[in-house]
């Protein structure tokens, strides 16, 4: 082959090779950043602490009727023209929100400054070093807030996020069948014959095998004095007589038919539908069901009331829902982000939050007569949240939740005894993360 030809061949090949290698390198970089397991303590939490400027606030779709999140952002922007907040709206789906945040954090991207975290994600984001610990110069004043939401934002003794809004379970009951709501599980079960007389189911929650089952199981176990993990977020503590008593209560209620047979296929929509169509005497639900139960289409419109969840001897232990707002460790303007967090928990902002029917993290808001007139469930909800327990605060939350769900489901369906199911949860939490 003549020299000229070789060189011409090379000139054709080289740009292609360069192109190919570059694209391969690019892809590698994208994949590596997207896939590699990340480590904590990467030092980013000490950077940009004094940075000020425009920031981006990331949260799932704002579904409140009042557009609460947009109102919050507008209120802030009017007062801080140089440090404007842009609202980046994610999808409505919690797992898509989680995946989106995770990808941005693994890529150490600085385009998300303040992120809204569903309560159970907080510990994992903290343990991976993705969010700024709120201590020393970054401390925020949480003394005026309800303490369970603050506990949900705390990992390993350090606060990692500002509780933005909270949520608690309520017992919806039929006023026409029982004028007084039951205070305890035993009392509630003793009222079940009345439901039978009326030809309807007695109690239902959300017992299908999904996150709702974790919530419902945790509530009854916590109400009887049980717990799941120790303060370190890893040591399992569920194998206790209290936890067994709690789960037994739920399993017995299902076996005795106090929870209708179809109850183990109920998620939020099914349980709400059963209550709204008058097929249930008691339902465990979130405040968001209140509107539907009270609407004109509901057959229990003026016949229902709400109360805190029943417990062992008194008010039960609701599982805490809600969102926490955290500062990304990779943010460039952390000082502004910190001010924004302080704004989010302020009286003013929390009033906007509460008006949007997102339960506030400030106790005082629940006593506002104007809000109570609009949302009559607020006093019951305040009581519910005051005695609420956060979901197990652990960086392995998905695995722990799965261990709780699968074992509780096995106990409900009778394929495992309560003792075995509790022992299974204990072992499941022990092996979480392997």
Is residue 159 near another protein by the rule CB under 8 A?
Answer: no
Is residue 407 near another protein by the rule CB under 8 A?
Answer: yes
71, 77, 156, 288: which one binds another protein (CB under 8 A):
156
- The residues in 123-152 that bind another protein, with binding defined as CB under 8 A, are 127-129
Question: In whole angstroms, what is the distance from residue 376 CA to residue 306 CA?
Answer: 9
The residue written with tokens 């106790």 in the block is 363
Q: In terms of DSSP bridges, do strands 154-155 and 158-159 run parallel, antiparallel, or are they unpaired?
A: antiparallel
Query: At a CB cut-off of 8 Å and minimum separation 6, what does 241 contact?
Result: none
Strand partners, 167: 321
Contact 320, 36 (CB under 8 A): no
**160/323 with CB nearer another protein:** 160
Give the binding range for another protein (CB under 8 A) out of 55-63, 263-271, 306-314, 358-366: 263-271
Contact 167, 289 (CB under 8 A): no
- How is residue 287 written in tokens? 């405040």
Q: How far is the CB of 96 from another protein (least distance, A)?
A: 12
Give the binding range for another protein (CB under 8 A) out of 24-32, 69-77, 144-152, 317-325: 24-32
- The residues in 223-262 that bind another protein, with binding defined as CB under 8 A, are 232-236, 261-262
Is residue 367 near another protein by the rule CB under 8 A?
Answer: no
Q: Of 396, 428, 426, give the one whose Cα is nearest residue 123.
A: 396
Give the binding range for another protein (CB under 8 A) out of 70-78, 145-153, 264-272, 318-326: 264-272
Is residue 430 near another protein by the rule CB under 8 A?
Answer: yes
164, 334, 382, 416: which one binds another protein (CB under 8 A):
416
Contact 232, 154 (CB under 8 A): no
- The residues in 54-93 that bind another protein, with binding defined as CB under 8 A, are none
Question: In whole angstroms, what is the distance from residue 404 CA to residue 226 CA?
Answer: 13
**151/399 with CB nearer another protein:** 399
CA–chain centroid gap for 425, Å, is: 20
28, 86, 190, 256: which one binds another protein (CB under 8 A):
28
DSSP code, position 333 = -
Contact 8, 292 (CB under 8 A): no
Q: How far is the CB of 31 from another protein (least distance, A)?
A: 6
- How is residue 285 written in tokens? 């639900």
**33/71 with CB nearer another protein:** 33
**17/186 with CB nearer another protein:** 17
Question: In whole angstroms, what is the distance from residue 384 CA to residue 148 CA?
Answer: 11
Is residue 364 near another protein by the rule CB under 8 A?
Answer: no
Give the binding range for another protein (CB under 8 A) out of 160-168, 294-302, 380-388, 422-430: 422-430
**140/204 with CB nearer another protein:** 204
Question: In whole angstroms, what is the distance from residue 391 CA to residue 389 CA?
Answer: 6
| Strand positions, DSSP E, 126-180 | 154-155, 158-159, 162-167, 170-174
Q: Both ends of the chain: CA-CA distance in Å?
A: 59
Q: How far is the CB of 164 from another protein (least distance, A)?
A: 23
- How is residue 410 written in tokens? 């096995």
169, 405, 418, 422: which one binds another protein (CB under 8 A):
405
8, 86, 295, 364: which one binds another protein (CB under 8 A):
8
Is residue 5 near another protein by the rule CB under 8 A?
Answer: yes
The residue written with tokens 């495992």 in the block is 416
Question: In whole angstroms, what is the distance from residue 400 CA to residue 154 CA?
Answer: 18
Q: To the nearest 10°, the Cα dihedral for 40, 42, 45, 49? A: -170
Give the binding range for another protein (CB under 8 A) out of 29-37, 78-86, 216-224, 243-251: 29-37
Binding footprint of another protein on the chain (CB under 8 A): 1, 5, 8-9, 12-13, 16-17, 19-20, 23-24, 27-28, 31, 35, 37-41, 95, 98, 127-129, 155-156, 208-210, 232-236, 261-262, 264-265, 267, 270, 395-396, 398-399, 402-407, 409-410, 413, 416, 424-425, 427-428, 430-434
């Amino acid at each position: 082959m003549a020299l000229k030809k070789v060189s011409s061949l090379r000139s054709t090949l080289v740009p292609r090779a360069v192109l190919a290698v570059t694209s391969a390198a690019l892809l590698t970089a994208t994949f590596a950043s997207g896939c590699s397991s990340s480590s904590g303590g990467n030092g980013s939490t000490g950077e940009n602490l004094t940075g000020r400027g425009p920031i981006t606030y990331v949260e799932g779709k704002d579904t409140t009727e009042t557009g609460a999140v947009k109102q919050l952002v507008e209120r802030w922007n009017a007062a801080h023209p140089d440090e404007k907040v842009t609202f980046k709206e994610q999808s409505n789906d919690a797992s898509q929100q989680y995946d989106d945040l995770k990808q941005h954090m693994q890529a150490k991207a600085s385009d998300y400054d303040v992120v809204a975290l569903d309560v159970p994600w907080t510990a994992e984001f903290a343990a991976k070093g993705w969010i700024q610990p709120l201590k020393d110069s970054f401390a925020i004043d949480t003394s005026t807030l309800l303490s369970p939401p603050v506990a949900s934002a705390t990992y390993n003794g350090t606060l990692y996020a500002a509780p933005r809004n909270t949520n608690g379970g309520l017992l919806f009951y039929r006023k026409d069948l029982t004028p007084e709501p039951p205070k305890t599980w035993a009392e509630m079960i003793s009222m079940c014959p009345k439901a039978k007389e009326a030809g309807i189911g007695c109690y239902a929650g959300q017992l299908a095998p999904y996150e709702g089952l974790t919530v419902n199981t945790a509530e009854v176990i916590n109400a009887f004095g049980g717990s799941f993990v120790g303060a370190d977020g890893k040591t399992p503590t569920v194998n206790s007589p209290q936890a067994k008593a709690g789960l037994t209560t739920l399993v017995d209620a299902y076996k005795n038919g106090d929870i209708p047979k179809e109850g183990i296929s109920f998620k939020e929509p099914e349980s709400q539908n059963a209550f709204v169509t008058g097929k249930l005497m008691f339902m465990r639900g979130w405040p968001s069901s209140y509107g539907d139960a009270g609407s004109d289409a509901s057959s229990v419109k003026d016949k229902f009331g709400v109360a805190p969840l029943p417990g062992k001897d008194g008010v039960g232990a609701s599982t805490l829902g809600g969102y926490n707002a955290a500062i990304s460790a990779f943010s460039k303007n952390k000082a502004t982000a910190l001010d924004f967090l302080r704004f989010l928990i302020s009286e003013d902002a929390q009033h906007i939050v509460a008006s949007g029917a997102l339960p506030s993290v400030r106790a005082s808001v629940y006593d506002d007569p104007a809000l109570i007139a609009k949302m009559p469930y607020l006093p019951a909800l305040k009581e519910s949240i005051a005695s609420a327990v956060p979901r197990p605060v652990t960086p392995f939350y998905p695995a722990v939740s799965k261990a709780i769900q699968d074992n509780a489901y096995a106990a409900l369906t009778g394929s495992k005894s309560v003792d075995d199911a509790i022992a299974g949860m204990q072992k499941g939490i022990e092996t979480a993360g392997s």
